[in-house]
Amino acid sequence: MRKQLKDFIEAIGKDAVAVIPAAHEVTKSYDTEFKFHQDPDFYYLTGFPEPDAIAVIAPSNKKHPFTLFVRPRDPLMETWYGRREGVEGAKKNYGADKALPIEKFESELAKMLDGNEKLYYRFGVDNRLDQTILHYLSGQRFRRLKTAYPPHTIIDPTLILGEMRLHKTEKEVEMMQRSADIAAEAHILAMQNCRPGMNEAQIEAVIEHHFKMSGANGAAYNSIIGGGDNATILHYVENNMPLKDGDLLLIDAGCNYKGYASDITRTFPVNGKFTKAQREVYDVVLEVQLECLAATKKGNTVKQRQDLSIELLTEGMKKLGLLKGKTKDLIKKKEFMKYYMHGVGHYLGLDVHDAGRYFTEQQAKNSRPFAPGMVLTVEPGLYIPPDDKDAPAKYRGIGIRIEDDVLVTEDGNVNLTAKVTKDADEIEAIMNEGK
Ligand code: GLY
Ligand code: MN
Ligand code: MN
């Protein structure tokens, strides 16, 4: 049995049963669908890649602790829409103790759930399944005095799964390192290929071409390819404007490798040479990024690192003449948010903004300490609106973010994305090689 599943079975205990659904295909328009993306919790536990499946995990069921409901084999459907594992494949290739066609789920539900104290199920994600579960619960409660004993406690499994997913195994780290390497190479290629007059879409193509050529399943999220003041729009994804001589280009792009996301941002000059003003802002962000990266280690907390990024960036804004006053006051009044309005990083894994709590359980306000096995991004930035009359004219329209992916270890951290430089001189050297 898969280690993740074994650990989950242990965590929920003998008096519980869990119902974990796969994702469904989502209609794009009329009869076409968006590219399918498996539900990360379901994928983490089962590794099963197909839509319309449900895992039922029942530790007290000695014979069948792991049942998979899947789309059955169907020659006609497979000719039109692709191969299926079917019930045979679910058992043979994914370790299910029992596999049944998905159509059987509803009629089997009472048999699987009755007699368990707790049901682990997350309401609010899969509307149709919610209705099926509610229908079962209300029906069984009605019959309770006679023969049926439905679970009386319903628990969201996300808490357990989030904690498990937060602490990566060695095998997961290996996949994340590969994901990071592919993304780092793609950013280097973007630097090497970028020329004034190109379109943002062409740089996107360079990056995503490399993702797929390297065995990744495409981008982990919509790539952000923002030239000039497009870089000041945090989630700019149109990626369709020409790149101008003298502008900066901000690229936030990572790939999905065997389900695991990488998430890298680099900012560099379209023509291969930073202007003095661009370099001044860049060096402020870089210095903060290096400090926050070093602070991503055991003994520090998520909040300490966030506060550090705010303090250092506020100092930097003062140095650049963007803000005036005492650092303490500027932080208290949240003045820094005019130029730095997002978090310094997030957990990374199967999701780009990965599962796991940012606060300790005991006291919601206690920020969580970093622990070995966590992977987080470090991504401070400064974004100076093009029409900001308060900012020195030379800085208007500059947007800079620098983002790496970091694994916390026993004695510090490993920067998984160190392969792509963020040193301004080295970036210029890469861009001008062979020019
Ligand atoms: N690319 C999304 C993020 O950096 O959080
Ligand atoms: Mn990120
Ligand atoms: Mn990012």
Residue 126 and residue 176 share a domain:
no
Give residues (CB < 6 A) around ligand 1: 221, 252, 263, 346, 352, 379, 403
Of the bound ligands, which one is closest to the alpha carbon of residue 378? 2
Q: Which residues contact 326 (CB under 8 A, 6 or more apart)?
A: none
Question: Is-catalytic flag, 346?
Answer: yes
Question: Is-catalytic flag, 210?
Answer: no
8 Å CB contact between 105 and 54: yes
8 Å CB contact between 99 and 132: no
Q: For residue 264, how far is its CA from the centre of ligand 2 (angstroms)?
A: 7
The one catalytic residue among 172, 229, 252, 354: 252
Show the tokens assigned to 414: 């490993």
Residue 151 and residue 51 share a domain:
yes
% of the chain with per-residue pLDDT over 90: 92
Q: For residue 347, how far is its CA from the centre of ligand 2 (angstroms)?
A: 8
- Mean pLDDT throughout 228-240? 97
- 221 CA closest ligand 1 atom index: 1
Question: Is-catalytic flag, 403?
Answer: yes
Residue 376 and residue 270 share a domain:
yes
Residue 175 and residue 146 share a domain:
no
Question: Is-catalytic flag, 24?
Answer: no
Residue 142 has pLDDT above 90, yes or no: no
Residue 281 and residue 347 share a domain:
yes
The 10s digit of each residue's pLDDT in 303-347 is 999 999 999 999 999 999 999 999 999 999 999 999 999 999 999
The 10s digit of each residue's pLDDT in 146-157 is 667 889 899 999
The parent domain of residue 74 ranges over 3-163
Residues 292 and 300: their CA atoms lie apart, in Å, by: 11
- Mean pLDDT throughout 398-404? 98
Q: Which of 20-29, 338-347, 360-369 has the lowest mean pLDDT?
A: 360-369
- Mean pLDDT throughout 65-93? 97
CA 260 from chain center: how many Å? 8
Residue 250 and residue 191 share a domain:
yes
From the list 72, 48, 149, 74, the residue with the least C-alpha distance to 56 is 48
Q: How many CB atoms lie within 10 A of CB 82?
A: 9
Residues paired with 100 in a beta bridge: 69
Q: Which residues contact 88 (CB under 8 A, 6 or more apart)?
A: 73, 99
- Domain end among 163, 194, 216: 163
Q: For residue 408, how far is its CA from the centre of ligand 3 (angstroms)?
A: 18
The one catalytic residue among 85, 172, 181, 379: 379
In the β-sheet with 412-415, what is the strand arrangement from edge to edge? 375-378, 404-409, 412-415
Domains contained in the chain, number: 2
